Structure 1
Amino acid sequence: MTIDTQQITGLILAGGRGSRMGSVDKGLQNFRGAPMVLHVIMRLSPQVGALMINANRNLGPYEGFGLPVWPDQLTGFEGPLAGLQTGLSQCDTNYLVTAPCDSPFLPQDLVERLFQALTDNDADLAVAVTEEEGRRQPHPVFCLMKASVLPNLTAFLQLGERKIDKWYRSLNFVEVMFPDETAFRNINTLDELRRFENT
């Protein structure tokens, strides 16, 4: 099936506390000469028709990238599912794909591979998976879903649930194997930021 990128909205998740990085805003940290979120924008934007950012602080700096910025509808830094709910609520296309703001190496064929698997399997959601040391490793914040899953997600959140893997496993989902686990590397600490700056 030929992918119609205009029917896919991208959502960059930047709504966390950044607690492992000393409570700084990870997406705005400098990495190889630019804010980390800009690397994600540059990799994801060619793969989608529209792009937006979910953030709960520093909204002005994020708006400076020229994209819509939406804070969580749920207050209190409730995790990636809260950001996902916000993104789906603002999504005007049939599909939404997500990636975190601290993943500057994300695959340039992420959307294509997820979309192909989703349509081939008539699934509601496709999630990226890698194999590391013989063990399958899901990457649930790298996923593509039908926008129609919003009511299901809202009901899940209203039950007080917050675990993203528990939610997507309640759907008709498909896992999509990617060959390069380093493409999904998140930079979570200042030590990692300095280390990868020089590699």
Structure 2
Amino acid sequence: MDVPSRDDITGLILAGGLGRRMGGVDKGLVLLDGRPLAAHVLARLAPQVGALVINANRNGEAYAQLGAAVIPDLRDDFAGPLAGLETGLAACQTPYLVCAPCDSPFLPADLVPRLAEALATGQASIAVARTGEQLHPVFALMRRDVLPDLQAFLHAGGRRMESWLQRLCWVACAFDDEAEAFANINTTDELRAHHPGDFPQ
């Protein structure tokens, strides 16, 4: 398997959640250093992919102002990240899709090429980021043709990405040298505690 090129990959920012741990606010639009969290993610992910979309179920116009197409879940039950992933794969026009959450504004600038290398080396359908023993399943690069299996999994009531991975050929890609780049912001306390200057640019 050849290493997927940038132009073969669509980036998907997952911003469709309910933000329960942040009081129900739309996390992707919460400001950090004067910009929405999703804008930070977009700025880091865009140079690594050929196309970019945002999965959001609320405030579509606000997300559209960030400069990417906005697509809501195909399902209406807020089924979590996998529902957003299903939507992204269904809309994807490239052979590969990479996803990242809207609340991780410091994601690695080399996330996609490293995942692409791992995917090709492992002859896998999905490559997932890992730091130490911790898997980061919402930072993943996958073949577009995993969509039918994902749809079957969701139809059967599956919701956890870790459980879905076990059905497929997947590989983990180590990012131990950039572990801090996967910090995510789930609460207002975490928002106060994080400053871009504390992380690699």
If the length of structure 2 is used for normalisation, what is the TM-score? 0.94
**Deviation at residue 182 of structure 1 after TM alignment:** 1.0
The CA distance in 2 between the partners of 1:9 and 1:51, in whole Å, is 6
Listed as ranges, the matches of 1:62-101 within 5 Å are 62-101=63-102
**Partner residue in 2 for 1:44:** 45
**Partner residue in 2 for 1:177:** 174
The CA distance in 1 between the partners of 2:53 and 2:166, in whole Å, is 25
**Deviation at residue 197 of structure 1 after TM alignment:** 3.4
**Deviation at residue 166 of structure 1 after TM alignment:** 0.3
* CA deviation profile, 1:153-186 (whole Å, cap 9, x unmatched): 0011110111111001210000011022211111
The CA distance in 1 between the partners of 2:66 and 2:149, in whole Å, is 31
Q: What residue identity is the alignment partner of 2:124?
A: A
* CA deviation profile, 1:91-121 (whole Å, cap 9, x unmatched): 0000000000000010011000100010111
What RMSD in Å do the two structures reach over aligned CA positions?
A: 1.1
The CA distance in 2 between the partners of 1:96 and 1:68, in whole Å, is 15
Instruction: Give the SS at the match of 1:78.
Output: coil
The CA distance in 2 between the partners of 1:81 and 1:12, in whole Å, is 12
The CA distance in 1 between the partners of 2:14 and 2:6, in whole Å, is 19
Percent identical: 55
The CA distance in 1 between the partners of 2:115 and 2:16, in whole Å, is 23
Q: What residue identity is the alignment partner of 1:188?
A: N
**Partner residue in 2 for 1:61:** 62
**Partner residue in 2 for 1:7:** 8
Instruction: Give the SS at the match of 2:107.
Output: coil
**Deviation at residue 2 of structure 1 after TM alignment:** 5.4
* CA deviation profile, 1:29-62 (whole Å, cap 9, x unmatched): 1101211111000000000000000001011100
Q: Which runs of 5+ in 2 are unaligned?
A: none
The CA distance in 2 between the partners of 1:93 and 1:169, in whole Å, is 24
**Partner residue in 2 for 1:150:** 147
If the length of structure 1 is used for normalisation, what is the TM-score? 0.95
Confirm or deny that 1:137 pairs with 2:134: yes
Q: What residue identity is the alignment partner of 2:183?
A: R
Confirm or deny that 1:28 pairs with 2:25: no
Number of residue pairs the alignment of both structures matches: 195
Instruction: Give the SS at the match of 2:194.
Output: helix
**Deviation at residue 3 of structure 1 after TM alignment:** 4.4
Consecutive aligned runs of 4 or more in structure 1 exceeding 4 Å deviation: none
Q: What residue identity is the alignment partner of 2:170?
A: F
Distance 1:49 1:86, change over 3 A: same
Distance 1:175 1:182, change over 3 A: same
Instruction: Give the SS at the match of 1:9.
Output: strand
Q: What residue identity is the alignment partner of 2:95?
A: N
**Partner residue in 2 for 1:106:** 107
Which moves more between the two structures, 172-181 or 136-145?
172-181
The CA distance in 2 between the partners of 1:75 and 1:47, in whole Å, is 31
Distance 1:165 1:2, change over 3 A: closer
